[in-house]
Amino acid sequence: MRTLALDIGNTAVKYGCFENDELLEMDSVGTPEQLQGVVRQLKPQHAIVASVIVSAEAWLAVLHNVPGLVLEFKAAITPLPIQNTYATPHTLGADRLAAAVGAAWQRPNQDTLIVDAGTAIKCDLVEGGHTFRGGSIAPGLRLRFQALHTFTGRLPLVELPTDLEAAVPLTGDSTQTAIESGVLNGAAAEVNGLIDRYREQFPELGVVLAGGDAAFFQPRLKGAIFAIPELVLLGLHRILAYNVEL
């Protein structure tokens, strides 16, 4: 079975093509017209679209030639292969729940904390490999830099360093390096603090890292870290396959 998963995020539209659970191709597109070319080339049998920002109608329209199930993933109503105990499922971002399904698929029967570092830093718990409990949402790295510039009188706008793995001095000796230390070292300390607190409750907890800024966090997080950049796409594929089976 060949499937196409489309993840419409805040800053990018990513797709993954799967053949019998194996990821064949992963990339991004900028317009529905570009997606149309991808569909013609890859010829998926089924497709799934998830969006966290706008209606997916324009993207779904491109998939009218897909012969099988074309699913618009909605966290509140789409059947899932895991249990969702979120108190307000209608407010739950599709990307968070898809990542949880992906983590449960990759780490069955295990407690997992997902750190998805992108526009926002989302830390979500999958308990026992089968139950999504929820988690936390905080501003991402770029949002933190932007907020310091926007909501103060004189602080400059500092850009995220291009080398995300480079060391960040603890003590900044200029306004720019002080902002870099506060944002970057502060974010790493924040996520590590959350991991520590979760491990107090779940001693065998595994941490799965995803998102565009994963390269910054990977060398800075404590304990064993499983980096899975395609986690949301994996989850979307698994949700689609589950619904095809139904």
Residues labelled as active-site residues: 95
- Tokens 């095809």 correspond to 244
53: CB partners within 8 A, 6+ apart: 8, 9, 10
Q: Tell me the CB-side half-sphere exposure of residue 187, using CA atoms within 13 A.
A: 30
**Other C-beta atoms within 10 Å of 219: how many?**
12
Can you tell me the distance from the alpha carbon of 239 to that of 93, in angstroms, rounded to the nearest whole number? 15
Cα-only R_g, the chain: 19
- Residue-wise DSSP of 39-93: HHHH--SEEEEEESSS--HHHHHHGGG-SS-EEE--TTTS--SSEE--S-GGGS-
Gap between the terminal Cα atoms of the chain: 15
**Do the Cβ atoms of 117 and 142 come closer than 8 Å?**
no
